[in-house]
Structure 1
Amino acid sequence: MNRRRQAAISLSAAVLSGLLVYGVYLLQLRQIQLQETVDIVVPNRFISTGTKLDPEHLTMISLPRSAITPEMITDLSEAVGMETSVPLGGHEPLLRWKVDKYPLLPRTGQSTFQIPREYVKSVSNGIRAGDEVMVYLSDESTASRKLYADSIRVAGVKTAANLEIDNPKNPNLMSMANGDKEGMYASRRDANGTIDSINLNLTEEQWLALDSACKGGTAKLIIAFQASSIKEDEQ
């Protein structure tokens, strides 16, 4: 009888010991998984909106796997060539919604609007597709003012013959993609026509504000080229 009891006690102790060891193993495995790190892409310094990302703008840092989200970019090659849609802080995770590969297309919440000719008082001849512009309102009855606080992306500029304004021998967009400021400047000097119509990427609220201001006929738009469209080298 005593032998059976001792055998039962020994078996129970062995089972409990096994369960304890297995529990410790699971805790250690969980701890290892939490401590496992993943490399993600981050800017190595502050980067302003509208900057085309080059390898020298970016670096890699490690974060615990538990902190990684699907929006974080983990492959450096995916980020290179993208354009920033918002300012990026130094060493903050680079999220996919903060960059854009096709800046001429409207972003989330935007649409491309062709601005009616009768709404426009003047358009800077230096404007090309992909530029950032400032939009002002010139009103006969009130003081002129800036219509939008932020710059607006140009989706396209065309001649009266419905041709995109550019230099066929040295396209502005190609120079922009290659980061060639000299080529961009030259294409603006040698462009192939006068601006007849302009398309802007606007949110619904921005379009309604523009339409409401101009449809009465007393107020017209002045669309000005913004110098930051051609980026200076960062110091």
Structure 2
Amino acid sequence: MNRRRQLAISLSAAVLSGLLVYGVYLVQLKQIQLEETAEVVVPKRFIATGTKLEPEHLTIVSLPRSAVSSEMITDASEAVGMETSMPLGGNEPLLRWKVDKYRLLPSAGQSTFQIPREYVKSVSNGIRAGDEVVVYLSDETTASRKLYPDAIRVAGVKTAANLEIDNPKNPNLLSMANDDKEGMYTSRRDANGTIDAINLNLTEEQWLAMDTACKGGTAKLIIAFQASSIKEDEQ
């Protein structure tokens, strides 16, 4: 009986020892895998050109460290809010050159419209390409109102000579891309020229609403610069 008990104890000890060794092996293997891989951001599914990336569009996958390049985005917060410059494939590493923070091209479902001069009552002279603006409707027959609930992206502002309004020595878009608020302010102050034409990125519904409201001649647009075009510093 004692011999059987000793045999059972020895067998149990051997099994436990084997399980312990195997557990240590799995931990070491996991550590090696973590050291040899890196996490990168990928779209969960196909994303069309002009889409503004939201957290629900993105996920994280692990790739062999040797396959990860400096162009791949590794932090999802860096990609959120960016807009796609080209289609993105699902589970395809997100590359920095495929997205942009300040795009002048229309987003998905939008077109760029040059607003007829006769539709416009006033345009803020501080507006530059890439800004977001608020569009109001000043109507002689009804109360004035905001035409769209959301801000509208400016594709371009030009003088009567068809020249883009900017400061050549300190381009506004360059300052915007570098998040240089001081440079953006200086560019707006020093740029020469009066806005003669403004191009807005609008959906078909937004353009039809504008055209319907203004083509009778009694209603005019007031296009105002929105302060959120210049981002506030994070607290």
Q: TM-score range by the shorter chain?
A: 0.5 to 0.7
SS in 2 for 1:169: coil
Shift of residue 179, structure 1, vs aligned partner? 1.2
Shift of residue 64, structure 1, vs aligned partner? 8.6
- Give deviations 1:154-209, integer Å, cap 9, x for gaps: 00000011000000111101111111110000000001201001000000000000
Tell whether 2:201 aligns with 1:204. no
Are the counterparts in 2 of residues 124 and 224 from structure 1 also a CA contact under 8 Å? yes
**Pair 1:173–1:63, CA change in 2 (3 A):** closer
Shift of residue 77, structure 1, vs aligned partner? 6.8
Shift of residue 76, structure 1, vs aligned partner? 1.3
Are the counterparts in 1 of residues 166 and 192 from structure 2 also a CA contact under 8 Å? yes
**Pair 1:83–1:167, CA change in 2 (3 A):** farther
Question: Where do 5+ consecutive residues of structure 2 fail to align?
Answer: 1-33, 43-52, 64-70, 84-90
Residue correspondence of structure 1 range 24-43 to structure 2 within 5 A: 39-41=39-41
SS in 1 for 2:150: coil
What's the C-alpha RMSD, in Å, of the aligned pairs?
Answer: 3.5
Q: Within 2, Cα distance between the matches of 1:204 and 1:100?
A: 24
Are the counterparts in 2 of residues 38 and 62 from structure 1 also a CA contact under 8 Å? no
**Pair 1:149–1:183, CA change in 2 (3 A):** same
Residue 75 of structure 1 is matched in structure 2 by: 72
Tell whether 2:163 aligns with 1:166. no
What is the TM-score of this pair, normalised by structure 1?
0.63
Are the counterparts in 1 of residues 41 and 75 from structure 2 also a CA contact under 8 Å? no
Shift of residue 83, structure 1, vs aligned partner? 5.0
Q: Within 2, Cα distance between the matches of 1:123 and 1:77?
A: 41
Residue 221 of structure 2 is matched in structure 1 by: 221
Could you list the runs of 4 or more consecutive aligned residues of structure 1 that deviate by over 2 angstroms after TM superposition?
A: 36-42, 60-65, 77-85
Question: Where do 5+ consecutive residues of structure 1 fail to align?
Answer: 1-35, 43-52, 54-59, 66-73, 86-92
Q: Within 1, Cα distance between the matches of 2:147 and 2:172?
A: 27
Residue 137 of structure 1 is matched in structure 2 by: 137
Residue 89 of structure 1 is matched in structure 2 by: none
Aligned residues: 168
